Amino acid sequence: MATPTRLASAAALIAHPARAAMLQALMAGEALTAGELARTAGIAPSTASAHLAALAGGALVVAHAQGRHRWFRLANDDVAAILESLMGLAELARPARRWPHGEALRTARTCWDHLAGRLGVALRQGLVERGMLRPALGGWEATAAGHAWLERTGVDVAAARRARRFACDCMDWSERRPHLGGGLARALCTLCLARGWLRRQPGEGLARRAVVPTPEGVRRLREAFGVRVEAAAGQAASD
């Protein structure tokens, strides 16, 4: 009876609406304070504190005290992958005929530390079609042309190579097709945000995951990656 119980308790950490809301917010990739997470989940700070202690105990999040704040973030990308696949499972169980989460989220969002949604899927497709990536053991590696081109574009390829995985497929929960994960995808996401091509949404909770392309971003993404995105038009998720 040992293992089923452990399986159950691992899932139980995610199974609570308030904890799920916090985890969703953390899926944006940034660290958040206990107070922010409490507000996001719509519960009292004391309640949130107990939940966060449970999540930390289950190795789903890690805490980092700084001054009178405590910053929480997801423990690692494995946790993010599990959350995404569970989202996919939920979607599969009740395929919504109407997408209820706001168009912005579907257009472009972050998945832990990389890009997802239509943008993420298109990005992967663009890189592969242009011969920048080729299949490798358990994922993708850069071709010679791809490596040169990435460096020229300003991607920190060296940092990407230090990651556990350079580039791998990560199933997109809304598009049902893979987008790119791993060190390269992280570097790309960082680049787009640093250059101001994409901007994070100010909202809370799930809406926090959405990113919207700036006018310059629309142009650059088309030029650099051959990705067609619309400028910020969709409404943010109502959370």
Contact region for its own copies (CB under 8 A) — 8-16, 118-126, 154-162, 228-236?
8-16
Determine if 196 is a binding residue for DNA (CB under 7 A).
Answer: no
What the block records as the tokens of 237 is 């998720």
Contact region for its own copies (CB under 8 A) — 73-81, 106-114, 152-160, 227-235?
73-81
Taking the least distance from each CB to DNA, the nearer of 22 and 119 is: 22
Please pick, from the candidates 25, 26, 29, 70, the single residue that binds DNA as defined by CB under 7 A.
Answer: 70
Distance (Å, rounded) from C-alpha 129 to C-alpha 118? Answer: 16
Instruction: Specify the 3-state DSSP secondary structure of 73.
Output: strand
Determine if 205 is a binding residue for its own copies (CB under 8 A).
Answer: yes
Determine if 35 is a binding residue for DNA (CB under 7 A).
Answer: yes
Determine if 153 is a binding residue for DNA (CB under 7 A).
Answer: no
Please pick, from the candidates 22, 23, 26, 52, the single residue that binds DNA as defined by CB under 7 A.
Answer: 52
Determine if 67 is a binding residue for DNA (CB under 7 A).
Answer: yes
| Closest listed residue to residue 117, CA positions, set 178, 175, 201, 189 | 175
Q: Tell me which residues in 25-64 interact with its own copies (CB under 8 A).
A: 41-42, 57-60
Whether the Cβ atoms of residue 203 and residue 28 lie closer than 8 Å to each other: no
Distance (Å, rounded) from C-alpha 230 to C-alpha 152? Answer: 25
Distance (Å, rounded) from C-alpha 147 to C-alpha 155? Answer: 9
Please pick, from the candidates 7, 11, 50, 231, the single residue that binds DNA as defined by CB under 7 A.
Answer: 50
What the block records as the tokens of 52 is 């966060």
Taking the least distance from each CB to DNA, the nearer of 53 and 231 is: 53
What, of DNA, its own copies, none, does residue 45 touch, CB below 5 to 8 Å by kind?
DNA
**Residue ranges of the alpha helices (H) in the chain?**
2-15, 17-26, 34-41, 45-57, 77-93, 103-107, 117-129, 144-153, 157-162, 183-194, 215-225
Distance (Å, rounded) from C-alpha 78 to C-alpha 232? Answer: 30
Determine if 45 is a binding residue for DNA (CB under 7 A).
Answer: yes
Please pick, from the candidates 48, 121, 206, 218, the single residue that binds DNA as defined by CB under 7 A.
Answer: 48
